[in-house]
Amino acid sequence: MTAVTPDVAHADVRKSGRFLFRAAIVFLCAWVLVPIYFLLINTLSSPETVNAFPKSFIPEFDMGSLTFFANFAGMLTALKNSVIVACLTMVLSIAFGAPAGYALSRFDFRGKELFRVLILLTRAFPLPLLALPLAVLFIRTGLDDTLLGLALVHTTLAIPFAVLITFSLFSGIPIELEEAAWTLGCTRFTAFTKVVLPLIAPGIAASAIFAFVISWNEVFAAAVLTIQNRTLPAFLLQSLGTSPLHLKFAGGFILVVPALVFIFAVRKYLFAMWGIANR
Amino acid sequence: MAQIRIKNVAKRFGAYQALHSINLDVADQEFMVLLGASGCGKTTLLRIIAGLETPSEGEVWIGDRRVDHLAPRDRGIAMVFQNYAVFPHLTVFENIAFGLRMAKMDNALVTKRVERTAELMHIEQLLKRYSGELSGGQRQRVAVARALAMEPDVILMDEPLSNLDALLRLEMRAELKGVLAESKTTAIYVTHDQVEAMSLADRISVMHQGRIVQAASPIEVYRNPAARFVASFIGNPPMNFLPATSHGNGQWSVAGQTFNGPATQKPLEFAIRPEDLSPADQGLKATARVVEPLGAHLLVTCDVEGASFRAVLDSDLTVRPGDILTLAPQPDRIRWFDPETTQAVA
């Protein structure tokens, strides 16, 4: 009989452990989801309901706030600007980041480890610190208030991630596949396009989307460096400060949703990148 | 014609000397096996021939062309990798066709060539599959078929069977030998498995610490090892060694027994293969330590004057640990090595 007691105690510990584990999961999910849910409700509510108390937990599907935004002057231009800048950022960061990732994974060179740390360090400079000198420089070179100029700034923000993600992608492709292609008549370049590229295309797409999201969400540089050609976040920041509450909610919602959708689509690759970055 | 000539090839990785001045000739259509323990430089040598590695010094010739500065694709070689390197995004058909398509071969010809090679490797029913849907043995077949489809002058194989299980390895070994003999291709095959080497090779190059110690036919390598390393590496179990002292006139004393040997005064080592020993009235006094009945024969590990000594005996014999055996070496199978130079002495 004595042998049974520790078993029961053990089962109890395990049970409470499992409860704690589940509670933690519920808490963390709520931490992220509840604010987004409120954002959703308030976006889809009429201005009166937004300001009323107590709150309803069921959206009433009032499209008033969203329709207002759709017709808001400059809104569509800002949206278009955002898309253009984000696409430029995407193309530039992959064009520069992917070759760097390939080099990091395939070649040994002096200072390789240092280079990897430096890539991460570029994220250590706060953007406000860089924004003023950049603004001055951009005005001198005529890049100020242009979409290309902003895309360049966003590219510098996105490149570290592009490099690290593609580095981990390339490292996942055995070098023997490339070597086999070389012996079968490929040059270094055709081996890349015919063997490596098809294998990492989904990952490249993911890292491109991530660059897109970084640009999409970036507001500080956009607000400092552009005046006429504002991107959506900068435009909303400027307009929403003085707007009523229900419009603030709707604006926030418009910003959050695309980013959420994109990040969800590429989550697998972000984990891969963090796995590498933590090594 | 695709004989291979390797002249004074050396390879350094930083301060580490992987290959020391290698010289090797492989005849047209010869099956050459590079045999050695891991880290002996055999794969490096193969990769230098393939063009995946550049030699620090020396020349590589294939046929009458010097190739050591050419890209792999310009050397007329095909290679089979240890982990197969079957392209995961292509079907088996497209894998085998890959090299032919790169060579811009006519479509109908590609189909014909792929089907014929697939048939040769018995994978014609797998042509539509992807590598993820294949077993290790099937991937191996695809890798070999992909190399053969190129109809290369030289086929290079880097431990192609080492990832297969034992039974499959035996089967693939026999099949490879047949297929390659038929294809009339010069082959260089890297392995650390001496049985594989013995069974496949026309000639074996035994490598040790970045040098080729001996390059000869399998039976020659087995019977007449050129160096002590070869004698102790080839054979399962390997050769036995005992110190010998000279009495002059080619008479040598080994563990209290007198044998005829080389006419030199330097101290030598006496060497004999375990299977070249048999119980007799006259011979080496050996105390049995471990007796292993292996079915076909009896492996007895004994003690001769404090040195470990193995004998492969008839399985009908009854030997118990502690028994004292008198083992007579077959006289024409005795070999002598100089312990200083480690070279064989005739």
Question: What pLDDT digit, counting tens, does each position of A170-221 carry?
Answer: 988 899 999 999 999 999 999 999 999 888 888 888 888 888 888 988 888 8
Domain co-membership, A269 together with A189? yes
Cross-chain residue pair B98–A184, CB shorter than 8 Å: yes
Q: What is the pLDDT of residue B239?
A: 94
Is the model's pLDDT at A225 over the cut of 70? Answer: yes
| A76: in domain | yes
Strand partners, B301: B290, B310
Under a CB-based contact definition with an 8 Å cutoff, are residues B76 and B63 in contact?
Answer: yes
| A34: in domain | yes
Q: Which residues of A touch B51 (CB under 8 A)?
A: 182-183
B78, two tokens = 């095909």
Q: What is the pLDDT of residue A6?
A: 59
Domain co-membership, A29 together with A95? no
CATH fold of B4-233 = Rossmann fold (3.40.50)
Cross-chain residue pair A182–B150, CB shorter than 8 Å: no
A 179-238 residues inside an 8 A Cβ radius of B: 179-187, 190, 194-195, 198-199
ipTM of predicted complex: 0.85
Q: What is the pLDDT of residue A5?
A: 57
Cross-chain residue pair B83–A174, CB shorter than 8 Å: yes
User: What residue in A sits closest to B83 (Cα-Cα)?
Assistant: A176
| A91: in domain | yes
* CA A238, chain centre distance (Å): 22
- Which distant-in-sequence residues (6+ apart) come within 8 Å of A88 by Cβ? A147, A148, A151, A154, A155, A215
A117, two tokens = 């740390």
Domain co-membership, A105 together with A207? yes
Q: Which residues of A touch B85 (CB under 8 A)?
A: 174, 176-177, 179-180
Cross-chain residue pair A182–B89, CB shorter than 8 Å: no
User: What residue in A sits closest to B89 (Cα-Cα)?
Assistant: A199
A76, two tokens = 């569509």
What is the percentage of chain A residues whose pLDDT exceeds 70? 90
> Maximum distance among all alpha carbons in chain B?
76
A 4-63 residues inside an 8 A Cβ radius of B: none
Higher pLDDT, A131 or B154: B154
Q: What is the pLDDT of residue B123?
A: 92
Cross-chain residue pair B52–A182, CB shorter than 8 Å: yes
Q: Which tens digit of pLDDT belongs to each residue from B287-323?
A: 999 999 998 899 999 999 888 999 999 988 889 999 9
The C-alpha atoms of residue A94 and residue B234 are separated, in whole angstroms, by: 54
Cross-chain residue pair A185–B103, CB shorter than 8 Å: yes
The C-alpha atoms of residue B241 and residue B227 are separated, in whole angstroms, by: 12
| A64: in domain | no
Question: With bands split at pLDDT 50, 70 and 90, how would you rate the model's confidence at A8?
Answer: low
Is the model's pLDDT at A129 over the cut of 90? Answer: no
Comparing CB atoms, the residue among A174, A180, A198 nearest residue B79 is A180
CATH architecture for residues B240-345: Beta Barrel (2.40)
Q: Which tens digit of pLDDT belongs to each residue from A226-257?
A: 888 888 888 887 777 777 777 778 878 878 88
Query: A199-233 burial, b for 16+ CB within 10 Å, e for fewer?
Result: bbeebbebbbbbbbbbbbbbbbbbbbbbeebbbbb
A62, two tokens = 């009032």
User: What residue in B sits closest to A186 (Cα-Cα)?
Assistant: B73
B247: contact with A, CB 8 A cutoff: no
Q: What is the pLDDT of residue A226?
A: 81
Q: Which tens digit of pLDDT belongs to each residue from A137-163?
A: 888 988 888 888 889 989 988 998 889
The C-alpha atoms of residue A274 and residue A165 are separated, in whole angstroms, by: 8
Under a CB-based contact definition with an 8 Å cutoff, are residues B270 and B298 in contact?
Answer: no
User: What residue in A sits closest to B101 (Cα-Cα)?
Assistant: A185
Comparing CB atoms, the residue among A176, A186, A199 nearest residue B85 is A176
Domain co-membership, A8 together with A119? no
Domain co-membership, A33 together with A103? no
Show pLDDT as tens, one digit a residue, over chain B (346 residues): 689 999 999 999 989 999 999 999 999 999 999 999 988 999 999 999 999 999 999 999 999 999 999 999 999 999 999 999 999 999 999 999 999 999 999 999 999 999 999 998 999 999 999 988 999 889 999 999 999 999 999 999 999 998 888 888 888 898 889 888 888 899 999 999 999 999 999 999 999 999 999 999 999 999 999 999 999 999 989 999 999 988 888 889 898 888 998 988 888 999 999 999 999 988 899 999 999 999 889 999 999 988 899 999 998 888 999 999 999 999 999 999 999 998 998 7
Helix residue spans in chain B (DSSP H): 42-50, 92-102, 107-120, 136-149, 166-183, 194-200, 218-223, 228-233
Domain co-membership, A15 together with A106? no
Domain boundaries defined on chain B: 4-233, 240-345
Q: Which residues of A touch B73 (CB under 8 A)?
A: 182-187
What is the number of domains present in chain A? 2
B 38-67 residues inside an 8 A Cβ radius of A: 50-52
To the nearest whole angstrom, how far is the Cα of B90 from the nearest Cα of chain A?
Answer: 9
The helix or strand, by DSSP H or E, that contains position A54, with its residue range, turns out to be none
Q: What is the pLDDT of residue B166?
A: 85
Which whole number is the average pLDDT over A101-106? 90
Domain co-membership, A202 together with A272? yes
Question: With bands split at pLDDT 50, 70 and 90, how would you rate the model's confidence at A274?
Answer: low
Under a CB-based contact definition with an 8 Å cutoff, are residues B78 and A184 in contact?
Answer: yes
To the nearest whole angstrom, how far is the Cα of B78 from the nearest Cα of chain A?
Answer: 6
Domain co-membership, A85 together with A172? yes
| A225: in domain | yes
Question: With bands split at pLDDT 50, 70 and 90, how would you rate the model's confidence at A279?
Answer: very low
Domain co-membership, A82 together with A154? yes
Domain residues for the domain of A165 are 72-277
Domain co-membership, A143 together with A188? yes
Torsion over CA of A77, A82, A85 and A90, rounded to 10 degrees?
Answer: -140
B160: contact with A, CB 8 A cutoff: no
B150: contact with A, CB 8 A cutoff: yes
Q: What is the pLDDT of residue B17?
A: 92
Cross-chain residue pair A182–B51, CB shorter than 8 Å: yes
To the nearest whole angstrom, how far is the Cα of A88 from the nearest Cα of chain B?
Answer: 30
Question: With bands split at pLDDT 50, 70 and 90, how would you rate the model's confidence at A7?
Answer: low
Q: What is the pLDDT of residue A1?
A: 46
Nearest to B199 by CA among B173, B223, B175, B225: B173
| A200: in domain | yes
Q: What is the pLDDT of residue A109?
A: 86
